[in-house]
Amino acid sequence: MAPVIRYALDQGCRITVFLSGRAASFLESLPEKVQCEIIDDHLSAKDCAALLADVSPHLLFSACGLYNEIEHTMRLAAKIQNLPILGILDSWHNYRDRFTRDASPLLFPDHLCAIDPSSQQGIIEAGMPSAQVSITGHPDLEFTAARFARMCKAWRKKIKCDSEFPADSLLYVFLSEPFYTGSDHAFYSGTGAIMRDDGTSVYGYTTETILPATATSLASALRESGKTATLVVRPHPSEWKEPLYTFAQSFDHPNLFIQVSEHHTTPEWLASAEAVFGMMTIALLHAAILHRPTVSVQIGLNESGAEDPCVSTQLGYIPLILSCKDLQRVCNKLVTTPESLLPTSPSSPIPIEGSTERVYSAMLDLINQQPTSTTSTT
pLDDT in tens, 363-373: 999 987 544 44
In percent, the amount of the chain with pLDDT more than 70 equals 97
Q: What count of other Cβ atoms lies within 10 Å of the Cβ of residue 277?
A: 31
**Closest C-alpha among 325, 340, 328 to residue 218:** 328
> Over the chain, what is the mean pLDDT?
91
Q: Using the predicted structure, report yes or no on whether residue 322 has a pLDDT greater than 90.
A: yes
Asked whether the predicted pLDDT for residue 52 surpasses 60, the reply is yes
pLDDT band at residue 161, thresholds of 50, 70 and 90?
A: confident
- CA 130, distance to chain mean position in Å, is 25
CA dihedral over 100, 106, 112, 116, signed as positive or negative? positive
Q: Considering only CA atoms, give the Rg of the chain.
A: 21
For residue 59, name the pLDDT band (cuts at 50, 70, 90): very high
Q: Which of 55, 60, 49 is nearest to 36 (CA)?
A: 55
Which CATH superfamily groups domain 151-341?
Answer: CDP-glycerol glycerophosphotransferase, C-terminal domain (3.40.50.12580)
Task: Look at residue 25 in the predicted model and tell me its pLDDT.
Answer: 77
pLDDT digits (tens, 9 = 90+) for 3-27: 999 999 999 999 999 999 877 777 7
Residue 42: CB atoms within 10 A of its CB come to: 11
Question: What pLDDT score was predicted for residue 370?
Answer: 45
pLDDT at 163: 79
Q: Reply yes or no on whether the pLDDT at 243 is more than 80.
A: yes
pLDDT of residue 288: 94
Q: What are phi and psi of 129, to 5 degrees?
A: -60, 135
Residues in CB range of 309: below 8 A, 6 or more apart: 93, 194, 203, 280
Q: What's this model's pTM, rounded to 2 decimal places?
A: 0.88
Positions of CATH 3.40.50.12580 in the chain: 151-341
Tell me the per-residue pLDDT of 137-152, one tens digit each, with 9 for 90 and over.
999 999 988 888 777 7
Residue 369 pLDDT? 54
| Percent of the chain's residues with pLDDT above 90 | 76
- Asked if the model's pLDDT at residue 217 lies above 70, the reply is yes
What CA–CA distances, in Å, run from 93 to 162, 176, 280? 36, 19, 12
30 or 7, greater pLDDT: 7
Question: pLDDT-based confidence at 190, cuts 50/70/90?
Answer: confident
Cα three-residue angle 48-52-53, rounded to 5 degrees: 115
Residue-level pLDDT at 291:
92
Residue-wise pLDDT for 60-89, tens only, equals 999 999 889 999 999 999 998 899 999 999
Q: Where in the chain is the domain with CATH 3.40.50.2000?
A: 2-138+351-377
**Predicted pLDDT at 371:** 40
pLDDT, one tens digit per residue, over 335-357 is 999 999 999 888 788 999 999 99
Q: How far apart (Å, rounded) are the C-alpha atoms in residues 203 and 209?
A: 12
Section 313-319 average pLDDT = 94
Lowest mean pLDDT among 57-71, 104-118, 151-165: 151-165
Domain 2-138+351-377 of CATH type 3.40.50.970: no
